[in-house]
A = this chain, B = another copy of it.
Amino acid sequence: MTEARPAGKQNVRVDYDDLLSFVAAVFIDRGMQVDRARMAATALCYSDLVGQGTHGLANLTGLYLPLFDDARVDPGAEPQVLADRGAAVLVDAHRALGLWAASEAMDMAVERAATYGIGMISVRAATHFGCAGHHAVRAVRRGMVGIVASNCGRQRIVRPPGGQVTMLGTNPLSVAAPAGGHHPFVLDMSTTAVPAGRVREAARAGRQAPHGWLADDRGDPVTDPAAFDRGDAHLLWLGSGSGSGAYKGFGLGLMVEVLAALVSGAGLGPSREALAGDGASSGRDDDIGFLVAAIAPGALRPAEDVDRDAHALFDTLLACPPSRGNGPVLYPGWHEAERAHYNRRDGVPLAEPLYQELCDVAGTLGLEFPDPIGGD
């Protein structure tokens, strides 16, 4: 109920299960089956639950609902297996919502990996899946390693090093693994220095962009994040800001393009159309390609040995003494799992404007948005 929201607080906290039910109801309203809507809602709320807001509920009105409204997502799509080699499967998603389809693909990959030791689902004609890490970490519940990569369809955001024209998306990659009783390892990264959303977030907050994020046409650093959307600065690859490694981030972006889109036959960023344009960010993020894979170490050696080794690996990292002035040593995924734990207990924090936006969505659809349970 919109009226109940407390004024003057930066964040509003909403019960996680209530939030899930609300988002699922929105997807059901758009025509999705109940169980699929619930899986998609879990994927979307994951970002806010773990504190990676740039890929979460803020995208409901900004990205996902318009995709339904423009028929770029088909709520009733039945993904189709085009080829099945046992360990590897090619799927045409037929524009199913990526938030659901990527989790479904991971569950299939896990099932295949249990038999073959490895399972790979290669998906074309897909749509946005939100946080790659959410789908990758599903494999961990079964003691497996999960791998998820996605290109951005035909969307072009980033230039090759030394190039004048955008050619590739920010091409996310995630790898998740069991950590022997500790929070799972979840690497979840764009192959650029930062995702475009982080640049826009800095622009909105009036913060400067650190060196290594953006450069101008001459390759000089740009610290005004608003220059990116003005077309006066381009996004750099991971490592591009340092005296080396420009080629590595670009290579990782291309690696994802190959694994996610060349294998599946999805839309590619680099196309003749890219060369015909004005070189600025363009191309639609339709016909996205995913690589979704699971590796089952327990199918190759005793599961208790895998668990022992995973514990040794991550327990030792956590025990690494910090250098002067630093907090404890952690690994990717640790903070996110910790935040998820507290946010499940205390409510998921939503920025005030986002809370209002979701109340408005609820109002439009005749749904109720959950009452806040606290704020900070």
Contacts and interface: CB of A to CB of B under 8 A. Distances in A.
Interface of A: 82-83, 85-90, 115-118, 120, 122, 145, 159-165, 167, 175, 177, 185, 187, 189, 193-194, 198, 209-213, 217-219, 236, 238-245, 247-252, 254-255, 257-259, 261-265, 268, 270-272, 274-275, 279, 293, 295-297, 299-301, 305-306, 309-310, 312-314, 316-317, 319-327, 329, 331-332
Contact of A331 (B86, B254, B317, B323): B254
Nearest to A306: B262
Contacts of A275: 316, 319-321
A333 B214 CA distance: 26
Contacts of A310: 262
Contacts of A299: 83, 85, 88
19 contacts: A85-B117, A85-B118, A89-B117, A120-B295, A145-B259, A159-B320, A159-B323, A160-B331, A165-B321, A189-B248, A212-B245, A239-B245, A241-B241, A251-B331, A264-B301, A265-B306, A268-B312, A272-B312, A275-B320
User: Which of A117, A209, A257, A305 lies at the interface centre, i.e. has the most chain B CB atoms within 10 A of its CB?
Assistant: A117
A30 to B, nearest CB: 31
A299 B255 CA distance: 19
Contact of A118 (B118, B160, B331): B118
A116 B88 contact: yes
B251 A187 contact: yes
A227 to B, nearest CB: 15
Given A85-B117, A187-B254, A213-B244, 18 more contacts: A83-B300, A117-B120, A145-B259, A161-B329, A164-B321, A164-B323, A167-B317, A175-B259, A217-B324, A238-B248, A241-B241, A251-B331, A254-B331, A262-B306, A263-B295, A265-B305, A268-B316, A274-B316
